[in-house]
Every structure is written in C-alpha cells, then in structure tokens.
Structure 1
Amino acid sequence: MTKDVIALTPTMPDIRTLLAGLYAGGPDVRVDSAGDGAVVQLRAPGGHPLISVEAPIFVQVPGEASRLLGTAIDDAQGPFWWTETRSTTAVPDAESLARAFAGRLVSVLGGTTWPPGPVTTDIVPLTSDNAQAPATDTSPPGIDVLTDQAAVVIQDRPVVAMSSWLSDALRTAATTSRALQIVTPHTTRLTVPTRTALQGHPNRWIVQDPEHGYYDGLSGAALRWHNGAFTPIRTHPGPVPAFTEQPVSGDRQLIVSLRTQHAPDAGLLLGGALETTWQQLTGAPPTGWSTAEPVNLPWSTRQLTDLARTRAPRPTWLIAVGHPDRPAIATQRITRTTAGVEEDITLALGYGPVETPPLDTIQPLAEVLVSRHNLTSMLTSLRPGRRDLTVPPHFEKPPVPVTFTLGAGPVSDIGFAHASRPPLNLHPIQLGPTAAPALHYPLGDSATTWGALQQLTTHLTAAREK
C-alpha cells in the first residue's frame, strides 16, 4: 500500500530544491529513476523503494486542487506547481520521509501540503530493519501489487483522479492482459474519467467497508482476494448493504454524449464541438484541458489539435474542465479512422436542488452542431447525482434519456423517409439544410424513455442492415 503526499508551491521546484528534499532520507538512501525518467525514487540500501516523486506539474486551471483534494485546499490565488510523492507502507519510515520531502519543498518555496497538517524538514533516519528491506519487483511506481491476474493500486484519498501514474498503471494492465483494480476506503469517491476507465471488464473499484468487507464500488458485488485478484463471492446474494441507494440530495447531472466525424483535412481544428457545447450549456468555454488529472493547461483547441496530430494514427484521450462555479467535466477521444477523424465526447454538468438544467438549449445546440461541426449523433440524458460530479461507492440511478439527434450523414445512409417515421409516438424535428437534413428526437424525461430510445435505435439499425 502507498500513502500520497502532495506539495503545492507557487514556484517550480528546481534541481537544488528537489535534491534538498531528497536529502531528507539521510546519507544512506540512494536515488534512482523510474517511468522512463519521469519519476525519481528514494530506495533503501537493500533496494526497497521508499518514496516515488513525480515530475512537478504546472497547474494553470483554477479549482483543480480543491476539486481533487477537498475544500481545505485553497488554490484560488493563481497557478501553482503540483509535486506528488508516493510512499510505501511496507516500510514504516517511508510516509514520514514523504512528509519531510514535501515539507522541505514548501519551506523553501512557500505553499502548502496535502494531507493538511504539520510538516517537518528533519532528516528521517531509517531503522536497520527498514534499511535492509529487499528490493521488490520492477512494476511501475503507481502499482502496489502486481500478480499474473491484476495490477492493484491502493489509494487513501478523498477523490481518486485519473492521474498520469494511474494512466500508466492502466496502460500496463491493458498491455499485459491484467485487470486494473483500485482499492479504496468507503469514504473515497472517483472522478468521472476514473470511473470511465474502470467500466471496461475486467477492471474494478474495490471498496473496503468496515462492516461488510470488500465490495465492487460500481456494482455492489461482494468481493474476496482469490488467486491473485479480487473476484466476486458467487454465493453472496445480491449487492452488499453498504451499496444500497442513499437518500436523495436533489442534485442532478446533465450528460451529453456526442460524436463528430471530419474529413482528414490539413487545416482541421479539433475541439470545436466540445467548446460549442460547453458555451451553449454554461455560457462560457472550458477553462482547461489535459491528458490526465489534475487538468493543468488553459483551454486551447489549437494545442489539443497539435497533440492529436503528433499522436496519429494512435488515438488521443483527453479531459476538459470548466470553472469551479459551474461543475462540468468532459472526456474526449480523438481517433483516426478510414472515414476520417472522429471525436467521441461525453460532457457531464452538475446542478444543485434549486438549479434547473438547461434542457431548452439542447435543440438549438443540436442545430449548431449539425450545421458547423459535422455531428454524427448526440444523446442527452438526465440523472440524479452529485453536483460535484464525483462518483460515490453506492448505487446511483441510471440516467434517463431526454433527446437523441441523428446527423445528416447517418440520416442519408438510413434514408430520410425511414428515419423520420419511427414506429412510436415521436415527432422528430428536422435540422440543417433541406438538401442534407438531420433529425432531432425529443424523448421526454420519464423512466419509459429508455424503452422509446431502444425501439428508435432498433428501427434505425434495421434500415442500415437492409
């Protein structure tokens, strides 16, 4: 297991400051590197890793520290450097060493540390037993336990974000045919990007409940450690009691999932559909984007396009966030296909009990996306859920579909006559030019709309298969 300590400083930790922090381990520890040089490790003389320090990240997006670390952290004063240290609990002195490292950075550069509390700049001498602890395997620094079946990450944080080291752990698990399994206390929540990463089989979120043992935080299934991985207890009847639905807070989430397709033109600028959707629904564009959390770069369609172009033909996955006053987060996957360049976007927005989701803007938004951004399809849904958009380890009702939009290309492929006459009490609205129409289907906002959406999808798919 690891314990994380984060230093938030107003200026970048330079080499001398980092070395001063690393000397908190005294003269007996040795410095090593991992993660292709992106991580610095302190190891005991026996070779056991004590702490792993990631390269500092310059966070230029307001609200990221409080979003991921809690309201006790104030990041409203401007950009800051985020230096994250992971300490192993296999060596009792390691957590104190991580705190001393972070304390030394803050004492020189100013700023604060997480978790909150007193820090020290003293040298943390290793006991003789800890100093001789044998070296462990060479798995990436973000993985706590590596077996033939699973890459296990143990986290004790209020919110588990899709950080760069967690992305690396996910990549390692996928390329080696292992499951990524994140173990947390029952008080932890996930960000939307982390939940998205764990939705694919066989990945899991394992929650440790003091009364009910281990269970899956997304399904409620009781779990046990068996043959190198957490697996369901088949004899356990249904979800564990800790997973049952919690009292309704009145918070809601609006979820917009859309896809665009573009010709592979040299002047193509990506991200426009996401920016337009954000602007229409919140009154402002996104504030930042990144390929991991914390989101650290100011919003720029030019920069994200350049990144996607340099990575092609490999796909590019990124995250975008909005201003803290209007909770919103999106994931976007950019893929080069035989048909062109596709953008798959899911945007979630949070609303409190007295706030009204802007459902009246969905049809005008669909019109703009059809006419300017080559929309292929868009599904809008509404669900009960936390305003801050984090995912708790208990049951949440599924989203209810509200509208579905089919772009001009798919309508042409299906045939306008067929697509515009679904076998339901639906009245699609024609969008775009008459020569190349798109169709917008209002579905309502009740639980029965799932059935309507399924019948509509079946109707539209049947025409494609003829």
Structure 2
Amino acid sequence: MTKDVIALTPKMPDTWALLAGLYAGGPGLTVDTGHDGAVVQLCTADGRPLVSLEAPLLVQVPGEAERLLGGQVPSPEGPFWWTEVRASTALPEAERLAGSVAGRLTMLLGGSAWPPDAASTEVVPVAEDGEVTARPVSGGAHPTVDVLTESTAVVMCDRPVIALSAWLSHILRATTESRRALQIVTPPGVRLSLPLRTALTGVPNRWVVKDPDCGYYDGLSGAVLRWQDGTFAPARDASGQAVVAEAFSAPAPTSERQLIVAFRTVHNADENLVLGRALETAWQTLTGAAPVGWGTAEPVNLPWSARQLTDLARDRAPEPTQLLAVGDPARPALAGLRVTRVERGVAADATLTLGYGADEAPPLAAAQELAKTLAAGHGLTNMLVSLRRARRDLAIPAHFEAPPIPVSYTLGADGVRRAGLAHAQRPPLALRPTPLGPAAEPALHYALGDGTDAGTWTMLEQLTAHLESGSAR
C-alpha cells in the first residue's frame, strides 16, 4: 500500500530545501516533474517512480492539521506549509525514502512531520538490481495512481482521514473524463472527509476497505467486494444478491448528531454580485460566527473571503465552480458551495453540515429565522434542514450511519408564486406553513418534525409532489 508522509513547516520549502530532501536517495536516483510542475518525482535511473512530492500548500486556516491528521502532530501556530510526500510500492525502501524526504524538509525549515515516527534524515540507498515493480503510468494519469486499468484508477491510502486533496481532485476529474471509476483502498479504521464522501457518491466510484474477515467491502454501502475484471465489484451469493460485510453493520449508533442545511439561492449576474454571503449568513445564524476558511480542496487553506471566492467563480464562468468552506474548530462545520450559471442568473447551491456532541443541542429553532433572512435578502429558492445521528467531527466511518431525517422545508417566493399561493398553503398533510416576508408574495416555511421520526421523509415527498403539481398547472 502506498504510504504518505506529510511535512508541516513554518517556512516555504524553496528549491534548495526540496533538492536537499530529494537527495535522500543518494546520487543514483533521478528527478522528474509532471502536471505542469505540480508534482516532482524521485525515480530510479530508468525512470520508474519511487516518491512523488506534491506542490507545497500554504494553509492559513486554523485547525486543518488536527481535522485531517487526527492530532498526531503538534498544532502549527499561525500559517504553515503542507507538503505531501507519497511513496510507491516499487521497492520496500520507498517508504523510508519518503520519510527521509519529509524529515530533511522539517530539519531545514522547522515544523513537524506526519506520521511522527516516519521522518528521518538518513540516506536511503536503493539497490540498482532490486526488484522494482512500479512502472510510469500512461495515458496522462496522475503519478499517485497505484493501479490503472481500462475501467478503474485505484489509489491506496493510509492516514486518519482521507480528504479531497488537490491531487485526489485531479484524479477524480481525470477518471471522469476518461470514463473510469476512482476506487480508494484503505485499511480498516480510516475515515473519509465529508467533501470526499460527497465527491465519491455513486457507482462506479468506491471506497474499498480491507477487512480481515471478508477481504474487502465498500465503506459506504457495506457490500463485500472482489477484484473482478480490473475493478472492485460486489460479490454475489447463490441467489445473485450482494452480501453486506459484518464490519459495516456491527458498530452501535452514536449519540452524536449532525445538522444539515441545504439551500439554493439565485442572484442577478451583474458586476455587484458577491457570492457566499448567503452561506456566511447561515453560518452566522447557526454558530454565531462566520466561516474561517475557504478553498477548492483539502486542507482548506484560504482565510474566508466572499469577494475572493466570487472572483474565482467569475474567472471560471461559464463553467461551474465547486468550493469548500470550514468553520472554527470549536464548532465542527463544513460546507460545499456549487456555483452555476442558470437562465435567471447565477445559482449557488450550498450544503452546510454542523456537528454536535451528545450533550449539545442542535439549533433547530433557528431554522425558521434563517429561512426568513435568506428569503428576504438572498434570493432563496428552497431550503431543507435535516438531522442525523453521526459523528460530531463530521468524518465518515466505514460502517453504517442512518440517513438524515427532515426537520423543515422552505419554498422561496418565486416557487410559491409558480405553485400558486393558495395551493402551496394547503398541502394534503396535517401541517400549515408559516408565511415569511410580504403577505402578497411570501416564502413558505414548513415545519416537519424534530429530526427523530423517519416518517417525515414521506411527508416531505408528499409535500414536494403537491408543490410540483401546482407549478405544472
């Protein structure tokens, strides 16, 4: 399995520091670059990759090292540089080589490395006649892809939380373009970050978990997997049904909870538009503070700035832009924001997830006030608030977690107008909405429950079908 070593340094790894790190294998190895210089590889003399060094990333957001590395390294004070070193399975020495590269960077620049016991400054000799099994990948694949077949790109990872890093984002885009699956293989006990879990949604992409009892299983569905025809696919029993791994269903449900707020806003596409304000308002209403950081991958590295993320989305238009935001570590909160051009202007789809411990009460009562604020000043189209039993730290374990349960639904003023006010106010359910805003053109807020009764999914389905039937008339 490919091994990762991460250097966290207060100073930027400049050319000389990187060269000192890359000399960890002695003079017999060569250096190559790829993907417009974003990746530097340490290779054998005949070009076979041993270690890949990602471009250093300046992280200016507090708490990201702890969130993704599990607190196994000292918390950096202030901004720091995050440099990933990945060792291939080409030779047994490759893992030690990656540790030596990272250790040399921290020796020269200060800081620390993860895992703590991996870093060293030793020269790791690589035998010229060793059995090197790795080969340079073809077809423009990212150098950190471990196995590439006609249908699948396999990446092997072992760290506390597998995140939606820049290199994984690149692989995901490349696999989509080449119509391949991305399958991430991990040992048991590893978790996914919420953004990566969202990105992996849907077959053929998979999270493949090694298991001593069944071999491999899907960490998101529980299906036992087998390597078949160049990809991991569900194993079938005698009746042709998929088998669920015992490890997936064994853990007891947690008493921690997650509050999920998903909403769409639509804005006029003019020079005064500033995106992210609706998300910032939601964050402020539910936590008492604004987001602390944003970015396009993990670790989230930029201080929160609605204007800067608007500039990025404008530069990428008319292509859609997918962004991430993170909150203060004291209140776990992550959001995904997708910006797209639509007929009426610019749409921003946000999903904000907040974590709460067993002794913390999610602010369900704040949902109506938030809906009112978004409807009045942010072009709210709709908003769904739901609650689920899941980890406070928002990481995704490789076992069953119950789906979220709806708490409330809000339909914006435009949707109410299309459905018809009288029709929208009288759904075929034992509930009546609360009007928000002007009486002539209100938004409507439907309180569905407290997040404990799964039957509210049926209520939500009936409600949305009723509203859609009014819009179709």
Shorter-normalised TM-score: what interval?
over 0.9
Match for residue 454 of structure 1 among 443, 461, 466: 461
Partner of 1:96: 96
Query: Cα deviations across residues 283-326 of structure 1 (Å, max 9, x unaligned)?
Result: 00000000000001000000000000000011110111011110
Residue 46 of structure 1: CA displacement?
1.7
Partner of 1:225: 227
Partners of 1:130 and 1:415 in 2: how far apart? Answer: 74
Query: Cα deviations across residues 111-146 of structure 1 (Å, max 9, x unaligned)?
Result: 100011153212211112348667332321231111
User: Is contact 1:56–1:82 with CA below 8 Å preserved after alignment?
Assistant: yes
Q: Given residue 461 of structure 2, which amino acid in structure 1 is its aligned partner?
A: Q
Residue 76 of structure 1: CA displacement?
4.8
Partners of 1:306 and 1:90 in 2: how far apart? Answer: 42
Partner of 2:397: 392
User: Is contact 2:24–2:121 with CA below 8 Å preserved after alignment?
Assistant: yes
Partners of 2:204 and 2:253 in 1: how far apart? Answer: 30
Residue 238 of structure 1: CA displacement?
3.8
Partners of 2:250 and 2:401 in 1: how far apart? Answer: 6
Partner of 2:159: 157
User: Is contact 1:46–1:133 with CA below 8 Å preserved after alignment?
Assistant: no
When residues 240 and 28 of structure 1 are mapped into structure 2, their CA distance, relative to the original with a 3 A threshold, is: same
Pairing 1:276–2:281 present: yes
Between 1:114-123 and 1:249-258, the stretch displaced more is: 114-123
In structure 1, stretches of 5+ residues that fail to align are: none
Q: Name the TM-score, length of structure 2 as normaliser.
A: 0.96
Between 1:200-209 and 1:155-164, the stretch displaced more is: 200-209
User: Is contact 1:47–1:134 with CA below 8 Å preserved after alignment?
Assistant: no
Q: Given residue 461 of structure 1, which amino acid in structure 2 is its aligned partner?
A: E
Q: Name the TM-score, length of structure 1 as normaliser.
A: 0.98
Displacement over 3 Å in runs of 4+: 130-135
User: Is contact 1:252–1:383 with CA below 8 Å preserved after alignment?
Assistant: yes
Q: Given residue 204 of structure 1, which amino acid in structure 2 is its aligned partner?
A: R
SS at match of 1:62: coil
Partner of 2:183: 181
Alignment of structure 1 residues 278-297 onto 2, 5 Å:
278-297=283-302
Residue 87 of structure 1: CA displacement?
0.8
Pairing 1:401–2:406 present: yes
When residues 246 and 135 of structure 1 are mapped into structure 2, their CA distance, relative to the original with a 3 A threshold, is: closer
Partner of 1:334: 339
Alignment of structure 1 residues 300-315 onto 2, 5 Å:
300-315=305-320
Partners of 1:384 and 1:134 in 2: how far apart? Answer: 43
| Residues paired across the two proteins, number | 466
Q: Given residue 453 of structure 1, which amino acid in structure 2 is its aligned partner?
A: L
In structure 2, stretches of 5+ residues that fail to align are: none
SS at match of 1:410: helix
User: Is contact 1:155–1:184 with CA below 8 Å preserved after alignment?
Assistant: yes
Match for residue 437 of structure 1 among 428, 439, 442: 442
Residue 462 of structure 1: CA displacement?
1.3
Q: Given residue 105 of structure 2, which amino acid in structure 1 is its aligned partner?
A: L
Quote the RMSD (CA, aligned, Å): 1.3
Partners of 2:15 and 2:144 in 1: how far apart? Answer: 23
Partners of 2:408 and 2:67 in 1: how far apart? Answer: 30
User: Is contact 2:91–2:132 with CA below 8 Å preserved after alignment?
Assistant: no
Between 1:329-338 and 1:126-135, the stretch displaced more is: 126-135
When residues 188 and 93 of structure 1 are mapped into structure 2, their CA distance, relative to the original with a 3 A threshold, is: same
Q: Given residue 414 of structure 1, which amino acid in structure 2 is its aligned partner?
A: A
User: Is contact 1:207–1:393 with CA below 8 Å preserved after alignment?
Assistant: yes
Q: Given residue 56 of structure 1, which amino acid in structure 2 is its aligned partner?
A: P
Partners of 1:14 and 1:212 in 2: how far apart? Answer: 46
Q: Given residue 85 of structure 2, which amino acid in structure 1 is its aligned partner?
A: T
